[in-house]
Amino acid sequence: MKVMDAEFAQNFARLAEDGWQLRFHERNGGNLSYRIPMEAVEEVRDDLCFDAPFTDIGTSVPNLAGEFFMVTGSGKYFSDVLRKTAETCCIIEVDSTGTKYRIVWGLTKGGRPTSELPSHLMNHEVKKLASGGKMRVIYHCHPANIIAMTFVLPLEDKVFTRELWESMTECPVVFPAGVGVIPWMVPGGREIAVATSEKMKEYDVAVWAHHGIFCAGEDFDIAFGLAHTVEKSAEIYVKMRSMSSAKHQTITKEDFIALAKEFNLTIREEFLD
């Protein structure tokens, strides 16, 4: 089977297009990665090429040794992914030590995987271990409203979580553990990768101050839906703050407890006080 005939590749491109259409990306902003199930790798193996040399990842992910990932390319535009998937994306193989990778498909006109590859792989490792292998998607995007919130709120997990939960009833249902917040760091390096992976031990979404969000999910719909929900709540918050400097009513602690009981949620109670 050709890679582009595989369901995972088609869904990968669809998420990229959805993110572009919602203006979560500008120019070459954002990146996406998917840990490919081994049975899917076998289906497309004849379309892969294993001649490229291995390259240093820039970090160590021993629990991902031998895994394959589909990732967007560095400097590539999300607006092109659906129409030019093989030019803008690639499949990489992680070596047996978890310290190197090689490109086995894609980037047909040259290039390398996303500059955020260390962050993606470190967070894939965290989520693989935490979910028993169920988590497969890491999605990074630049939604305007959640970025705007990082300029006016304290960069604290509890503060951001509570404001997002209160802005839209769906939020504690979609991310009952809350969100993590990371102060501004230089993108693409090990420091931000380590900080994000620490937050991902507790949450499925991390807010990068003045930059964007980093989301994890079991599949493309869950990961994208998480990003979409966070940004919609942030949009409501921004609109509310533009109308009034104070809330006249909101969802209360007691309301959240009732919601958690009704939907059988394990909500982060320390964020309710």
Are 199 and 254 contacting, i.e. CB atoms less than 8 angstroms apart?
no
Q: In this prediction, what percent of the chain has a pLDDT beyond 70?
A: 100
pLDDT tens string 38-75 = 999 999 999 999 999 999 999 999 999 999 999 999 99
- Residue-range domain boundaries for the chain: 3-271
- pLDDT, average across residues 222-238: 98
pLDDT digits (tens, 9 = 90+) for 28-41: 999 999 999 999 99
Please tell me what DSSP assigns to residue 54: P
| Mean pLDDT along residues 19-31 | 94
Per-residue pLDDT of 200-212, as tens digits, reads 999 999 999 999 9
Of the listed 43, 67, 93, 116, which one is catalytic? 116
Dihedral of the alpha carbons of 187, 35, 164, 255, in degrees to the nearest 10: -160
Q: How confident is the model at residue 190 (pLDDT cuts 50, 70, 90)?
A: confident
Reported as half-sphere exposure (CB side, CA atoms, 13 A), residue 16 has a value of 30
Is the alpha carbon torsion for 142, 144, 149, 152 positive or negative? Answer: positive
**116 counts as catalytic:** yes
Task: Tell me the Ramachandran region of residue 231: left when phi exceeds 0, alpha when psi lies from -120 to 50, beta otherwise.
Answer: alpha
Report how far apart the first and last C-alpha atoms of the chain are (Å, whole number): 54
Run of H or E including 263: helix 253-263
Looking at residue 82, its pLDDT comes to 95
Mean pLDDT of the chain: 95
- The first and second tokens of residue 201, run together, are 């031990």
pLDDT at 191: 87
pLDDT tens, position by position, 105-163:
999 999 999 999 999 999 999 999 999 999 999 999 999 999 999 999 999 999 999 99
Q: Comparing C-alpha atoms, which of 78, 103, 76 is closest to residue 3?
A: 103
pLDDT for position 233:
98
For 166-180, how does the pLDDT look when each residue is reduced to its tens digit (9 = 90+)? 999 999 999 999 999
Per DSSP (E only), the strands in 22-136 are 31-36, 55-56, 68-72, 89-94, 100-106
Q: Spelled out in words, what is the top-level CATH class assigned to the domain 3-271? A: alpha beta
pTM of the model: 0.94
For residue 157, CA distances in Å to 79, 87, 250 come to 32, 38, 19
Q: DSSP for 12-52?
A: HHHHHHHHHHTT---TT--EEEEEE-HHHHHHHGGG----S
Contact 70/136 with Cβ under 8 angstroms? Answer: no
The token duo for 162 is: 């509570």
Tokens of 34: 């998917």
